[in-house]
Amino acid sequence: MDLKGKKLGFALTGSHCTFLQVIEQLKNLAAIGVDLYPIVSLPVLNTDTRFGAAKEWVEQIEQIAGKPIVSTIAEAEKFGPQIQLDALIIAPMTGNTMSKLAHAITDSPVLMAAKATMRNGKPIVLAISTNDALGLNGKNLMQLVSTKNIYFVPFGQDNPIQKPNSLIAKLDLLSDTVRQALNGNQIQPLLITL
């Protein structure tokens, strides 16, 4: 499936260590003509880290997408009735966001965009990046894996010895995952070796 012209929400949450890889995927989607709608969580909007200043990340995201970021719940609500996305990508998706999505908590722009997309029956593509996916968040991961219209970018353990509960998505499979999701399919294999 050609992604050119598709309306894709691209939501980022606070796994700052993966931002460089995520930005590359955002650039790839823009280069093939995807109509991108950038959405960020409050930590992305407000938190400076050793991986970069929040303002610089936001400016870069807006420049690539060609649109201002959506950074409030009220702005994200428009993805239900006013702007119907073909799909929503959450990359990176933290354990915090995964937990809240699994429990239908809508307390951020990213989660409101997800709720609006789900209401429209459109696919949500998740690229996890969390240190506790195989710990307390394991039940949330499994709940989302079995939820209608939720699709995952294939993932694996990034450091099984020092961080045995950590999982991270293989981001270079993002576009292929979106293509499959738009056809109602989960890309396989889901569990991979990184």
Contacts of 112 (CB under 8 A, 6+ apart): 73, 76, 77, 79, 106
| pLDDT at residue 92, as a whole number | 95
Contacts of 114 (CB under 8 A, 6+ apart): 11, 88, 90, 101, 106, 124
| pLDDT at residue 79, as a whole number | 95
Helices (H), the chain: 19-31, 42-46, 54-65, 73-76, 95-102, 109-119, 138-145, 174-182
Count helices and strands in the chain by DSSP H and E runs: 8, 7
Distance separating alpha carbons of residues 84 and 89, to the nearest angstrom: 14
Instruction: Convert the pLDDT of each residue in 66-96 to its tens digit.
Output: 999 999 999 999 998 899 999 999 999 999 9
Instruction: Return left, alpha or beta for 182; rule: phi > 0 is left, psi -120 to 50 is alpha, else beta.
Output: alpha
Is the Cβ–Cβ distance between 72 and 40 less than 8 Å?
no
| pLDDT at residue 47, as a whole number | 84
| pLDDT at residue 88, as a whole number | 98
- The token duo for 165 is 């509960």
pLDDT < 70: residue spans in the chain = none
| pLDDT at residue 16, as a whole number | 82
Q: In sequence order, what are the beta bridge partners of 126? A: 90, 152
Say how far residue 82 (Cα) sits from the centre of its chain.
21
